[in-house]
Structures are given as C-alpha cells and as structure tokens.
Amino acid sequence: MPTLWQPKIITFLCNWCTYGAADLAGVSRLEYPPHIRIIRVPCSGRISPKFILNAFTQGADGVWVSGCHPGDCHYIEGNFYARRKFALFKNLLEHMGIEPDRLHFSWISSAEATKFSDVAWEVCKAVEALGPFDRMIRHPAKMIPLSDARSC
C-alpha cells in the first residue's frame, strides 16, 4: 500500500516567545501538524542563513522561523536583525529558484498558543501544496571500489 507524502518542515523557534507558545499549545491540547520538527534557539536573530540552507540540503521540504514580536525581543533588538536578514535572504532564495512558500517567518509571543497552532497549519498547507523539495539535497559521493581504481 503506498504511503502518503507528508512534508518535513524544520522550525527554528525563539526560546522566549514562540517556543513558549508551542509549549502552551501542547499543554492546552491545541492541535498542530505532527510533521514539524522544532529546534529551540535563544533568539531569532541568532539564526544564520546557513542553518536554513543546511535544512534544505538535509531534506527539509520547508523551513519556518519564528520569534518575538518586533520590539519585544528579550535580547533588545535580535528580532530586528532577523527581520532585515530574512527579508534579504528570502529574495536570494527566490532568485535561486526556490519557491517563496518553502520559507516562512512569523512573530508569535509566548501567550499566543492559538496563533502558533494556526500559523503551523498555514505553513504546512503552503508546503504541502508545493510538494516534495529535493533540488538541494546533498547526495553522498559515489564511491569507487579499490579494485576498480586506476593506479597512478
């Protein structure tokens, strides 16, 4: 029996706000998609674009970054740096030919469990509509057996 494809979505959540909202959503028994993989980070401003590219090369179908509302960052201005960095980075990904709906950003406070659940469903629906993403997956190099290798 064929299995249905489910997207693999990597989420980078701010420890102080969005991760708290995810925790509150779980405690409140709010449903959100089971195919998101949560990575807790100290601040959304600490997310390097390399993390996002690495997620895609490791087989992610989508990436979601979420942090504190602008102006409410526990590290003063980390989310302002994140907002600027990701606006430019999203344009770069589009220039590379990656669909814009594979990368999502949001600002969710720790008290907004319902918003976390709603945004998680929106992200999953957007990524599901695009289908599997395999253009950036790093495939292991083909190994040549020693018996077939030419001697120098």
pLDDT tens for each residue of 88-102: 998 999 998 899 999
Q: Which tens digit of pLDDT belongs to each residue from 9-35? A: 999 999 999 999 999 999 999 999 999
Per the listing, tokens 């709010």 go with 30
- Percent of the chain at pLDDT > 90 equals 66
> The whole model's pTM is what?
0.86
pLDDT at 61: 96
Domain ranges (residues) in the chain: 9-148
pLDDT at 135: 81
pLDDT at 2: 60
Q: Which tens digit of pLDDT belongs to each residue from 65-81? A: 999 998 899 898 898 98
CB atoms within 10 A of CB 30: 16
Distance CA 41, CA 46 (A): 7
Residue 108: closest CA among 72, 80, 75: 72
- Cβ–Cβ under 8 Å, residues 17 and 108: yes
CATH of domain 9-148: 3.40.50
Q: Which residues, listed in sequence order, are joined to residue 62 by a DSSP beta bridge?
A: 9
- Cβ–Cβ under 8 Å, residues 66 and 18: yes
pLDDT at 139: 60
